[in-house]
Amino acid sequence: MSRIISEEGPAITHSRSLTSGKIGSQLLFLAIPLLLGNIFQQLYNFVAAIIVGRYVGEAAFAAIGVGGTVMNLFIFVLTGCCTGVSIILASLFGKGDFHTLRKECFLAVVFGAGFTLFVSLASIALLPSLLEAIHTPAEIFEGTRQYLNIILGGLLATFFYNLCAASLRAVGNTRYALVFLVTAVMLNAALTFVLVARFGCGIAGAAWATVFSQAFSALLCMAYIWKKLPFLVPTKEDMRYDGALLKKTILFASLSAMHQSSLYIGKLLVQGAVNLLGTAAIAAYTATGRIEGLSLAVGESGSDAVSVFVAQNTGAGNHARALKGFLEGLASLALLSLFVSLTLFVTARPGVILFVGANQGEAVAEGVAYMQSLCFFYIFSYIGSSFVGFYRGTGRINIPFIGTTLQISVRVVLSYWLAPLLGLKAVGLATGIGWISIVTFQLLVFSSIRRRERREETALSHR
């Protein structure tokens, strides 16, 4: 890790300044741990679901599936909030304003924990009504409720882990954020096996394993920050109310949370269109969703890396370097998307068969048609992810939310319109057209920003 000297004197280690040095290698250093983290995050509940399905039964497996859908919505909200906070932290870190940096950490902890506690209690109170609203089958209703009561009751652990991980990413330390996530995933798998398979705790055992592993990883993360990154730990002087900073924190956190949750809600609405196509299409969409999740993780990781890089350099006033980093990240992701697209096209059939089995001929055909229609559009997805990183990093946190809302709207409308005519392939085409729409919007906004910046530069040069 690079060493940085703050205005206060002591050396700061275990962090990485991105305001100087070779841009390409810095983006790669950030992105690889983020990519691995995204992959492990997808394994978090996948392994637990397999263990429950094998040792408890089909009903418990279904209950975890429904519970996971509800749980993910709340988790996306919390991770979105923490992402918003990380942009502020990265900007302050790049600027070298460590007093305000610690003040932001204090405000994020106090008000973030309060918000999370409110969400936790409110969601538990409203849970029966929510499960009824999504038509949870009677045979799994109680199991789903039991599972979610424990998960939602432990949201504070989820919040603190994500906040600590976001803080590490903000100061360029993506490696240890990955280490703590891998620890949590492995501990979750081990505890789930012990509690479910050995002690017969059923679906509740899987929920307790998730909460405990999240809490343990949060404690590890906090201990690491306390020992290795003391410039992130608020002192008594930093523990003060700052109305302007709190307002900015709430704005960034809420817009990032809406960005994340709107994307997830859109996917749920698309799932509704798929459900109208029958069991084979549902099985195919479920299988391709696993593959698509891994593919999109590449773009999301690149987006996060660009976001941290741009935020640090924007905070330091290095706007030209921030722009150069964004353009290098965009070019790299665009080239990478071509490789991903070709790989997905060639491996579409064996990939779908891996999840649904070779004997499910209709599901395999639907899944292959979906993947091969979608893979040609991945370049737009990856370019869109680069722009999301740029807009977040420069503090234009509303642009990703607006763009994602546009993309999801197009995707949902076209899916419901075309799916009855073209089957699951239509959902792939709708998704691709949605990606094109968001890139078009992002390019128009980017062009407007660049024209305004050039006018300002011209005006300054004539003074």
Residues composing the chain: 463
User: If you search the block for the tokens 């590490």, which residue do you land on?
Assistant: 168
Q: Identify whether the C-beta of residue 305 lies closer than 8 Å to the C-beta of residue 389.
A: yes
pLDDT tens digits, 405-419? 999 999 999 999 988
pLDDT averaged per 10 residues, the chain (length 463): 40 68 90 86 72 80 77 88 94 94 96 96 93 81 93 95 93 89 91 92 92 94 94 92 94 90 81 77 77 86 93 93 95 94 92 78 86 91 95 93 92 90 89 95 94 80 66
Q: What's the pLDDT tens digit per position in 229-263?
A: 999 999 999 999 999 999 999 999 999 998 888 87
* Number of other CB atoms surrounding residue 138 within 10 Å: 6
pTM assigned to the model: 0.86
Q: CA–CA separation, 13 vs 82, rounded Å?
A: 23
Contact between 272 and 415 (Cβ < 8 Å): no
Give the tens place of pLDDT for each residue, 130-174. Answer: 888 777 888 888 998 999 999 999 999 999 999 999 999 999 888
Asked if residue 305 lies in contact with residue 34, where contact means CB atoms within 8 angstroms, the answer is yes
Half-sphere exposure of 446 (CA within 13 A, CB side): 20
The pLDDT value recorded for residue 4 is 42
d(CA 6, CA 62): 52
Query: How far is C-alpha 339 from the chain's CA centre?
Result: 23
Q: Compute CA distances 67 → 96, 150, 175, 192, 252, whole Å.
A: 43, 11, 30, 16, 28
What is residue 1's predicted lDDT score, i.e. its pLDDT? 41
User: Which among 176, 170, 18, 168 has a CA at the least distance from the CA of 84?
Assistant: 170
Residue 395, amino acid: G
AA identity, residue 178: L
CA atoms within 13 Å, Cβ hemisphere of 215: 11
d(CA 303, CA 309): 10
Return the bridge partners of 12, or none.
4
Looking at residue 207, its pLDDT comes to 93
Find, among 185, 375, 208, 174, the residue nearest to 292 by Cα: 375
